[in-house]
Amino acid sequence: MLTRDMAQSLIEARRALQQGDFPLAAQLAERAIQSRPDTAEARFVLGVALAETGHASHALGQINHAVALAPQNAEFQAQRARLLILLRRDAEARKAAQAALAHVGLQPLVLDTIGCVLAHLGEHGAALPLFAKTVAAEPDNLSFRFNYGSSLGFFGQVEQACVQYEAMIARDPMNGQAHYGLAGLARQNAQHNHIARIEAALPLARDHEEFVRLRYAAAKEHEDLGNNAAAFEHLDAANRAHRARIGYRPQADAALTQALASAFADSGYFSGPGLDTAAPIFVVGLPRTGTTLVERILATHPAVQSLGELQAMPLAVKRLSQSRSRLVLDGETISRAAALTPHMVGQAYLDQAAAQAGGSGDARLLDKFPLNFLYIGYIVRAFPNARIVCLRRQPLDSVWSNYKHLFAMASPYYNWSYDLLDAAHYYTLFDQMMALWRNLFPAQVMELSYETLLDDQEAQTRTLLAHCGLPWDSACLNFHATADAVATPSAQQVRRPLNRDSVGRWKAQSERMAPAIAFLRDQGILGS
């Protein structure tokens, strides 16, 4: 039985959590634990406070303690699942989410947490009704509405997603997430667009992220209407501001690719037997070059199960290398990976993939993380029977498409995308890496032209399936008819039959892209 003072202290600790005062919440929880170590609520509050201040591993210990003391508490289990996702322990996260679901009842915040965990695990069909319940219970919670709207968009339910984003904007006219989400759901026209509303919100942006999202939303709608100068003006303002904030240095990516090339030039690097019993399929390439399209084509095949953008190979190399850097891939990680064997990396990858697949039977696993193009050497040596499909798109369309797309702002993977010259420079690094892999592993790597696929769908699909060791199935030609969730920026495009709408988009910005064009010509990427 808690004393009155301790009960009041825990109430205050909860209040501090809700107000974002995590040091105070931790202090109050620790005081309660000193008096009563078996107080589940105190352990939970301390765990959440630690998690919110960047100490996920220590937080998990406290949450585990809370769950052990109160295993039927859905909130404790849901937060445990969230932490396990952060720590990339997906199999355990799935079990914790299922345990939370068994006891949740109608607790909107807990339902939302479980929904986010399931969405991360690729279980969008299970997440969608949970998000619907949260919005029904708390219609003024904009975070709940955003998660629900995003989830609806993954399933192509555009009108319903619009309802959620419009409800957010009605309650918060400057909400950058809602404006950007709404702009991306459909192609705008002169009779139906939101440009005036977005531009009216811009001067009132409350922070950097809101400013960037509003600019991107305006740019997308202006481009839809053919207002190319206005679209570029908004992108330029957003990208200049964000590039200045992150302090991107192209030299770092150049050093990374050079380190990879030097390592794999040594035949003894990362050598030895791999796992020849597994034959996963990897779709790689620069983002925004057709990787989602090819994933949908392959995932329509009955012998294939797509795991989405898994990132299991980068994590396997990073964890096993035990490099101390915060970056997933850098010179230290590449150097330390020399001591690893392909077999151990392959097994670590399969363990992670199995957790994501949730029991796929005999299906071929498909991993569509575009930047796995950096890991092709590790992939092929870990899985000699793997098949890799690399998308190639016209260089200037690649540069422009990445420049105009807003990736997750906190992710270091895409820091090169906020400047046209940076993006052009990164394209040359990608091109150099693919030349290396083409020379080392010609049998495992297929380079597929996005434009050729658009022009000759059936022939290219037949070649694609043959490369992957899959029998012909005509269903792959109707990939756009699938009802499966598509949780990438291309979600709406891949629900349509193949078309050339996105080919040559860079031409409308050719004058503004002149420095990037000149650079790519100097590098021999473009003809004279």
- Kindly state the greatest CA–CA separation across the chain: 81
What integer pLDDT is reported at residue 499 of this predicted model? 74
Span of 356-360, 419-423, 500-504, 516-520 with lowest mean pLDDT: 356-360
Banded model confidence at residue 12, pLDDT cuts 50, 70, 90: confident
Q: What is the β-pairing status of strands 387-392 and 281-285?
A: parallel
User: Is residue 461's pLDDT more than 90?
Assistant: yes
Residue 455, both tokens: 């022009």
As a whole number of Å, the end-to-end CA separation of the chain is: 81
Q: Cβ(79)–Cβ(111) under 8 Å?
A: no
Q: Cβ(43)–Cβ(66) under 8 Å?
A: yes
Q: Cβ(294)–Cβ(389) under 8 Å?
A: yes
The letter for the amino acid at 177 is Q
Mean pLDDT, residues 290-303: 94
The domain spans of the chain are 251-522
Span of 138-147, 306-315, 477-486 with lowest mean pLDDT: 477-486
User: Is residue 487's pLDDT more than 60?
Assistant: no
DSSP 487: -
Span of 31-40, 78-87, 323-332, 428-437 with lowest mean pLDDT: 31-40
Question: For the segment 359-383, what is each residue's pLDDT rounded down to a tens digit?
Answer: 556 889 999 999 999 999 999 999 9
> How large a percentage of the chain has pLDDT more than 90?
73
DSSP 448: E
Question: For the segment 401-426, what is each residue's pLDDT rounded down to a tens digit?
Answer: 999 999 999 888 899 999 999 999 99
Mean pLDDT, residues 489-516: 78
What integer pLDDT is reported at residue 405 of this predicted model? 96
Mean pLDDT, residues 71-79: 93
DSSP per-residue string spanning 286-300: STTSSHHHHHHHHHT
Q: Cβ(284)–Cβ(370) under 8 Å?
A: yes
What integer pLDDT is reported at residue 387 of this predicted model? 97
Q: Say whether 80 sits in a helix, a strand or coil.
A: helix
User: What does residue 38 show for φ and ψ, rounded to 5 degrees?
Assistant: -95, 20
Number of other residues whose CB lies within 10 A of the CB of residue 490: 18
Number of other residues whose CB lies within 10 A of the CB of residue 379: 28
Q: What is the β-pairing status of strands 364-367 and 281-285?
A: parallel
Mean pLDDT, residues 487-505: 66
Length of the chain: 528
Question: For the segment 154-178, what is each residue's pLDDT rounded down to a tens digit?
Answer: 888 999 999 999 999 999 999 999 9
Residue 525, both tokens: 């990427």
Q: Which of 397, 459, 490, 390 is nearest to 430 (CA)?
A: 390
Domain 251-522 belongs to what topology? Rossmann fold (3.40.50)
d(CA 158, CA 153): 6
Q: Which of 247, 153, 166, 176 is nearest to 493 (CA)?
A: 153
Q: Say whether 388 sits in a helix, a strand or coil.
A: strand
User: Is residue 43's pLDDT more than 70?
Assistant: yes
* Averaged pLDDT score across all residues of the chain: 91
